[in-house]
Amino acid sequence: MRITSIKAVPISYPVPQGQNVRLGIGRAVKRDAVLVKVTTDEGLVGWGEAHHGRCPGAIAKLIDTTISELVVGMDAMNVVGVWQRVYQMQLASHGMGYAAAMALSGLDLALWDIRAKAAGWPLYRLLGGASKPIKAYAGGISLGWQAPESLAQEALGYVAQGYRAIKLRVGDNPRDDVARATAVREAVGDSIEILVDANTGYTVDDVRRVMPAYDELQIGWLEEPFPAQDYRSYQTAASLGSTPLAAGENHYTRFEFTRLIEDGAVSFVQPDLSKTGGVTEAMRIAGMAYAWKLSFNPHTSATGINMAATINVLAAVDAPGYFEGDVAKHNPFRDEVGGVPYKLDAEGCVKPSETPGLGVEINEAFINAHPLIEGPCYV
C-alpha cells in the first residue's frame, strides 16, 4: 500500500469574548491546529494532527512541500521507515528542527490511523494493548489565572462532572499562585488530586517560594516550571521540596527525553503525540519511562484526533498515567472535528474507542468552514 498524497490543513477558530483564559504563555485569543490527511493507492485515508507551533501556516507548508516530497510513494505500512527518513533528512541534519518534529508527528499519526484501519482494529489493539479505564484529569485551556473564589467554583464544577484530578494554571506570581491553590484545596477537599502547571513561567527563586505551600497542599506535580532546555534549573528545583516535577510537552523525540530522564529531576514525563514524533516515538518514550520507573502522562493538543490517539497509546503502555481531559468551555476542535473523542465515566476515567483506526470520523465540512486565521494565538 503506497502513499499517494499528503495534505496539511491548517484550521483556526477565535476564542469567544469572555472565555479568554489567561495562563503563563498569555491570554488565549484563538485556537489553531494542523490536520494531516494521507491518502493511499488502495483508497484508505488516514488523519493526523501536527501541533501548530504558534505558526500553523509554516507547519502546513513544510508538510505540503518538503515532507510530502520525501515520503510520497513510500509504503504506508512502513511507519518506522517513513519516520526514519523524515528524521534523517529533516531533524538529524540541516533541517527545520522542532517544526519538522511537529510535521512528522502529524504524518505519523495519520499512518497509524491507516495501519489500524487496514487491520480493522482500534489503534490500542494494534499496539498490543487492551481496553481498560485510563484515569483523567481536568485540563486543557482552563482553570487559569482568576480570583481564588472564582477558580474554586470552576474546579468544583469539574469535580461534579466526575473528575478526580484537576490541573491549575500557575506561573503568575508566588503569592497569587499559592492563594489560588489554597482556595481550590479548601473547596475540593483532600480526596481530589490537584496538579499545577506553570507553563515555563517560574524562576528558581519562584519555585523556592511556592514549594513549601505546594508541599503542604499535597500538590500532585509542578509542571513545566522552566523552559524545556533549562535542565540545570530543573535539577536545582527538584531539591527544593517534595512536590515532584513534570515536563515533556516541549521536549522532542526520545533523544531529548533521554537527557530529561537521566538528569533525574522529573518524575512525570509528558510527551505530546503531535509534537514529539507521533505514536511511533511516544511508544518509545513510554518504554524509556517505564524502565526508569517514571509515570507516563501525555500532554494533549487541540483536536479530537490527538486526544483519541493519546487514549489509545495510554491503553497500550506498561504503566499509563493520566489522560489530560480538555475541559475548555468552547473547543469545537474537540467536539466537532471528529465527534467528542472520549467520555468520562463515574470513576473519572476514559476508555479508547472500538472504532478501527484512531477512532474518529473526520467532518471535512467542519474543517473547510474553519480556515487558518493568521496571527498569534496567545497575546
Task: Provide the pLDDT for residue 240.
Answer: 98
Residues 322, 310: Cα–Cα separation, whole Å: 10
Q: What contacts 90, CB < 8 A, 6 or more positions away?
A: 66, 67, 70, 96, 100, 103, 104
Task: Provide the pLDDT for residue 204.
Answer: 98
Q: Quick check: 18 pLDDT over 90?
A: no
For the segment 30-81, what is each residue's pLDDT rounded down to a tens digit?
999 999 999 999 999 999 999 999 999 999 999 999 999 999 999 999 999 9
Task: Provide the pLDDT for residue 146.
Answer: 96
Do residues 278 and 306 make contact, with C-beta atoms less than 8 angstroms apart?
no
Q: How confident is the model at residue 17 (pLDDT cuts 50, 70, 90)?
A: confident
Q: How far is CA 188 from CA 94, 159, 214, in A?
A: 51, 8, 15
Label the pairing between strands 3-14 and 30-40. antiparallel
Q: Quick check: 23 pLDDT over 90?
A: no
- CA 372: distance to chain centroid? 21
Task: Provide the pLDDT for residue 106.
Answer: 98
Do residues 60 and 44 make contact, with C-beta atoms less than 8 angstroms apart?
no
Q: What contacts 174, CB < 8 A, 6 or more positions away?
A: 206, 209, 210
Grid cell digits, residue 206: 519562584
* Nearest by Cα to 108 from 129, 78, 137: 78
Q: What are phi and psi of 125, to 5 degrees?
A: -70, -40
Task: Provide the pLDDT for residue 20.
Answer: 87
For the segment 74-126, what is each residue's pLDDT rounded down to a tens digit?
999 999 999 999 999 999 988 899 999 999 999 999 999 999 999 999 999 99
Label the pairing between strands 323-326 and 295-296. unpaired
Q: Quick check: 183 pLDDT over 90?
A: yes
Do residues 314 and 353 make contact, with C-beta atoms less than 8 angstroms apart?
no
Do residues 276 and 101 make contact, with C-beta atoms less than 8 angstroms apart?
yes
For the segment 261-288, what is each residue's pLDDT rounded down to a tens digit?
999 999 999 999 999 999 999 999 999 9
Residues 33, 276: Cα–Cα separation, whole Å: 15
For the segment 205-264, what is each residue's pLDDT rounded down to a tens digit?
999 999 999 999 999 999 999 999 999 999 999 999 999 999 999 999 999 999 999 999
β-pair partners for 223: 197, 246
Task: Provide the pLDDT for residue 151.
Answer: 98
* Nearest by Cα to 82 from 107, 119, 117: 107
Q: What contacts 65, CB < 8 A, 6 or more positions away?
A: none
* Nearest by Cα to 352 from 305, 312, 300: 312
Q: How far is CA 29 from CA 91, 112, 177, 218, 330, in A?
A: 31, 32, 23, 33, 12
Q: Quick check: 25 pLDDT over 90?
A: no
For the segment 146-168, what is each residue's pLDDT rounded down to a tens digit?
999 999 999 999 999 999 999 99
Cα-Cα-Cα-Cα dihedral of 45, 344, 140, 217, to 10°? -150
Q: What are phi and psi of 145, to 5 degrees?
A: -70, 115
Q: Quick check: 345 pLDDT over 90?
A: yes
- CA 94: distance to chain centroid? 27
